[in-house]
């Protein structure tokens, strides 16, 4: 059983609605990886090439989505009808649409307009199939005719007369139209001027392309038509040998007969032998169970999806019916797809079923809230794995795939491990237990470590690299499984259900910090499975980072021997400065959190009675706080700036670069990252808080952000001394109390160290650009502590973008960033292993 299968076993079983035999299966159905929204337009057809997903809708447009990032790339306009069918010609890099267009999938520009014989008399074009060996497109029409067009060089030019190098075209009513107010008919001269190929954005925010007219308008001749090929609409077609991506047909020699399969509303499936002269009918299969609405073909088998929930399975060699599957009675089967040896049936009630090679139902699930109208199987970009796409009249295109990382993240996020709320204490423990099991299934030795009584445990996991004669570099990854609270207000989806929308995964913790944790774990697991993990990777994941890491320091000291020696620490717990390019964080400010209380030891008073006679705590607090800064907002604490590092010339150049990228002044970035600051967070008062009350007690929370080379303890002591001295100068009878509640030291990485340079190279190799070197104004207390405890440096690789909304409603992470982040960690681990002697600390060998 694979790691993914075991992770799926942690979820609840899915109910099956199939009326045929259902066998228990260790393989779960593909989970919902992502959803693409086409603005509530019915998704009528789907196609895909290596880089894109093409979606045909009822609104006369084709939307083009990036296959890797699942973001909208362009909208192809100009069609005059609904896009009932799409067909991709891989050899030509062409996309055929049923509204008569041939598009280049490289430029996303129209190449030809292809008119069927009789044009509008042919009715709607329900189905398209491309045969690369014959260079022929077959078209199934509403008027029951079967038509085809031969794009081979001889036939193509012969239809326009010999000697014509480029067919002359007729005017097109979209591309060759004049402005409406001119009341002129379209002609080819209307497209004057150089066409623009620059993407633009329409008023609704959808990318569009301003495109030139097609180079030619083609017409299917009368000789390329089989009239009344069926006695009903030709709803669907398939080709044998199968040309569908994902089918496990063995590629046959070119001299094998090409056979076209057509399905119709007349309840028949017809088999045609295809040749240069056109298709010839060889056999008719009578389905007898309503219109044939969908077809799929594999080797010697034809699958016909019919009305009322039937799938007829025919043997091609013997021409016999071998099986009838009742998918769901009285529910039309509108689309069929083959993913290797499995058949996927898509029904009008939103259900998808998976059927094995032996015709057993191995999975059934609710895929849409509407009618599933289309589906395809396509390969993931840059890999050998496949995923299933389904489109429905709910306007959604759902991506179904068995992918370990995203499925595990959906399970991880579903556990509301909110450490700041006592109601979720058990959820935090369950999250730790789940993560321990998950990391174990991915190949690590994992265990839980206690912190303090009632505290959330640490998760310790070790991925042991391939055995060698010498000690391998040892890397410690630090992260946290707890999350901030997520009130439902402001969220567009359940915060504890991962929801994929248009290139992003939404959910509490997807970017801070559950997504990066699983990216690292999956990177190590994949290398381990290939026997390519040349380092030892230890993961130390805490459960109270969002509440100050209580108990973390003591637990690390207690279990230091179990954690083992460490050569470098790495974390991923922040975001980029923008949405692009990628960044590496090399510095964090420290923090001193302090609380101040001034009390009169008297009850709250009425300002109209006691005002002017009482020494008011609020006035004392205002006077004390006013001494902390001057008129230029500089901190007034003595010697506060003495140890702050001066800005170097190299840093100035870096801030100039970052200023250009972010369109912010470099001084603004500098003040946020490398200069200390003071903040007063709130003032709380006793009493009913109305405008006539003199509060008897006033509290405030304030903090200092400290930077290199300020001494954390000295700064904390100076703050306390300054506050006490300022209060004493008031000669107030009130009581004064000040407490330092929390401190965290600053952190600064070494940009010239080989560890940092290897990480930087990994980012550069993955994204193809130099990453920006950035710092953060916030603090992560565990990092400088771990550096001191293990005597090594830390690295910080953020995966989130600046718009990822960490700690806010609609927290998200880019699916592309998550996947590429995993790839960066793999590159980093491989780079360290290839130069292990460069990274080994001789004192720890």
Which residues are the active-site residues? Answer: 482, 545
Contact yes or no for 628/738 (Cβ under 8 A): no
Q: What is the DSSP string of 204-249?
A: TS-EEE--PPPSEEEE--GGGEETTSSSS-EEEEEEES---TTB-P
Residue 343: enclosing H or E segment and its boundaries? strand 342-347
Backbone angles phi, psi at 105, to 5 degrees: -85, -5
Both tokens of 219, joined, read 């017409």
Q: Per residue in 528-548, is it b (16+ CB within 10 Å) or e — as a string?
A: beeeebbbbbbbbbbbbbbeb
CA 781 to chain CA mean position, Å: 29
Question: Which residue spans within 464-535 are E strands per DSSP?
Answer: 474-480, 499-501, 504-506
At 80, give phi and psi (nearest 5°): -110, 5
The pairing of beta strand 94-97 with beta strand 86-89: antiparallel
Cα-based angle 466, 471, 472 (whole degrees, multiple of 5): 50
HSE (side-chain half, CA atoms, 13 Å) at 649: 0
Strands annotated E in 687-843: 693-694, 697-706, 735-744, 747-748, 772-776, 794-796, 812-814
**Chain centroid, CA 592 distance in Å:** 36
Q: Are strands 499-501 and 504-506 parallel, antiparallel or unpaired?
A: antiparallel
Are residues 400 and 31 in contact, defined by beta-carbon separation less than 8 angstroms?
yes
Q: Cβ atoms within 10 A of the Cβ of 798, count?
A: 25
Which tokens in the block code for residue 687?
A: 């009493």
| Residues 6+ away with beta carbon under 8 Å from 832 | 473, 475, 534, 535, 755, 758, 839
In 505-594, where does DSSP find H-type helix?
514-529, 552-558, 560-563
Q: Where are the extended beta strands (E) located within 94-205?
A: 94-97, 101-104, 110-115, 125-131, 136-141, 146-150, 199-201
State how far the Cα of 544 lies from the Cα of 128, in Å rounded to an integer. Answer: 57
For 116-172, strand residue ranges (E) read 125-131, 136-141, 146-150
Residues 329 and 346: their CA atoms lie apart, in Å, by: 13
Tokens 């200023």 locate to: 659
Q: Could you write out the DSSP letters of every residue in 647-687? A: PPHHHHHHHHHHHHHHTS-HHHHHHHHTS-EEEEEEEEESS
d(CA 175, CA 165): 22
SS3 for 611-654 is CCCCCCHHHHHHHHHHCCECCCCCECCCCCCCCCCCCCHHHHHH
Partners of residue 499 on adjacent β-strands = 506
Strands 136-141 and 125-131: antiparallel
Q: Tell me if residue 169 falls in helix, strand or coil.
A: coil
* Spatial distance between the Cα atoms of 723 and 548, rounded to a whole number of angstroms: 24
Contact 259, 279 (CB under 8 A): no
3-state class percentages of the chain: helix first, strand second, coil last, to nearest 5: 25, 35, 45
């Amino acid at each position: 059983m694979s790691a993914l299968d075991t992770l799926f076993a942690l979820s609840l079983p899915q109910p099956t609605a199939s009326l045929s035999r259902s066998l228990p299966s260790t393989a779960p159905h593909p989970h919902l990886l992502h959803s693409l929204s086409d603005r509530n337009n019915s998704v009528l057809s789907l196609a895909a090439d290596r880089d894109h997903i093409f979606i045909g809708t009822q609104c006369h447009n084709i939307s083009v989505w990036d296959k890797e990032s699942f973001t909208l790339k362009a909208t192809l306009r100009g069609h005059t009808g609904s896009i009932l069918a799409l067909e991709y010609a891989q050899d030509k890099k062409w996309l055929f649409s049923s509204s008569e267009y041939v598009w280049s999938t490289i430029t996303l520009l129209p190449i030809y307009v292809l008119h069927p014989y009789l044009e509008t008399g042919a009715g709607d074009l329900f189905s398209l199939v491309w045969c690369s060996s014959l260079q022929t497109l077959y078209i199934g029409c509403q008027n029951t005719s079967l038509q085809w067009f031969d794009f081979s060089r001889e036939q193509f030019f012969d239809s326009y007369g010999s000697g014509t190098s480029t067919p002359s075209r007729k005017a097109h009513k979209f591309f060759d139209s004049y402005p409406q107010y001119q009341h002129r008919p379209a002609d080819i001269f209307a497209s004057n001027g150089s066409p623009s190929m620059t993407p633009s954005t329409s008023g609704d925010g959808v990318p569009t392309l301003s495109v030139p007219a097609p180079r030619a308008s083609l017409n299917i001749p009368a000789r390329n038509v089989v009239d009344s090929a069926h006695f009903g609409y030709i709803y669907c077609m398939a080709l044998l040998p199968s040309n569908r991506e994902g089918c496990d047909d063995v590629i046959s020699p070119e001299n094998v007969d090409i056979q076209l399969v057509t399905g119709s509303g007349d309840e028949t499936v017809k088999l045609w032998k295809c040749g240069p002269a056109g298709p010839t009918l060889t056999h008719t299969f009578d389905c007898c169970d309503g219109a044939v609405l969908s077809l799929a073909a594999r080797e010697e088998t034809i699958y016909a999806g019919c009305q009322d929930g039937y799938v007829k399975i025919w043997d091609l060699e013997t021409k016999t019916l071998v099986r009838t599957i009742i998918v769901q009675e009285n529910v039309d089967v509108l689309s069929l797809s083959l993913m290797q040896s499995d058949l996927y049936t898509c029904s009008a009630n939103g259900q998808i079923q998976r059927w094995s090679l032996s015709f057993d139902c191995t999975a059934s699930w609710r895929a849409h809230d509407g009618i599933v109208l289309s589906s395809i199987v396509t390969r993931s970009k840059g890999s050998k794995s496949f995923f299933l796409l389904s489109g429905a009249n709910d306007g959604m295109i759902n991506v179904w795939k068995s992918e370990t990382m995203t499925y595990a993240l959906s399970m991880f996020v579903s556990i509301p491990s909110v450490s700041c709320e006592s109601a979720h204490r058990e959820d935090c423990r369950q999250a730790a237990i789940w993560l321990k099991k998950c990391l174990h299934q991915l190949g690590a030795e994992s265990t839980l470590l206690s912190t303090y009584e009632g505290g959330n445990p640490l998760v310790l996991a070790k991925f042991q690299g391939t055995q060698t004669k010498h000690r391998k570099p040892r890397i410690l990854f630090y992260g946290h499984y707890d999350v901030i609270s997520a009130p439902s207000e402001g969220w567009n989806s359940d915060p504890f259900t991962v929801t994929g929308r248009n290139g992003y995964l939404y959910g509490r913790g997807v970017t801070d910090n559950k997504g990066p944790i699983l990216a690292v774990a999956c990177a190590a697991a994949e290398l381990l499975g290939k026997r390519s993990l040349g380092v030892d990777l230890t993961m130390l994941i805490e459960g109270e980072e969002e509440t100050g890491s209580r108990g973390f320091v003591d637990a690390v000291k207690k279990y230091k021997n179990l954690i083992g020696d460490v050569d470098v620490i790495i974390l991923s717990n922040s975001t980029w400065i923008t949405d692009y390019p990628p960044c590496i964080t090399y510095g964090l400010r420290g923090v001193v959190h302090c609380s101040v209380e001034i009390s009169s030891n008297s009850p709250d008073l009425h300002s109209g009675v006691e005002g002017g006679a009482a020494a008011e705590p609020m006035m004392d607090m205002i006077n004390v706080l006013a001494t902390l800064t001057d008129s230029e907002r500089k901190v007034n604490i003595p010697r506060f700036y003495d140890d702050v590092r001066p800005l170097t010339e190299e840093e100035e150049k870096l801030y100039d670069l970052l200023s250009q990228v972010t369109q912010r002044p470099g001084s603004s970035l500098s003040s946020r990252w490398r200069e200390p600051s003071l903040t007063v967070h709130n003032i709380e008062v006793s009493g009913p808080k109305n405008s006539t009350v003199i509060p008897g007690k006033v509290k405030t929370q304030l903090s200092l952000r400290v930077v290199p080379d300020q001494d954390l303890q000295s700064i904390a002591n100076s703050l306390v001394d300054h506050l006490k001295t300022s209060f004493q100068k008031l000669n107030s009878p009130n009581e004064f109390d000040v407490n330092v509640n929390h401190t965290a030291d600053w952190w600064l990485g070494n940009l010239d160290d080989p560890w940092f340079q290897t990480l930087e190279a990994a980012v550069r190799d993955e994204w193809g650009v130099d990453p920006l070197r950035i710092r953060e104004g916030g603090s992560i207390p565990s990092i400088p502590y771990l550096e001191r405890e293990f005597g090594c440096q830390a690295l910080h690789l953020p995966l989130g973008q600046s718009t990822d909304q960490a700690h806010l409603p609609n927290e998200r992470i880019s699916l592309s960033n998550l996947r590429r982040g995993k790839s960066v960690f793999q590159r980093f681990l491989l780079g360290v292993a290839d130069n292990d002697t460069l990274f080994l600390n001789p004192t720890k060998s």
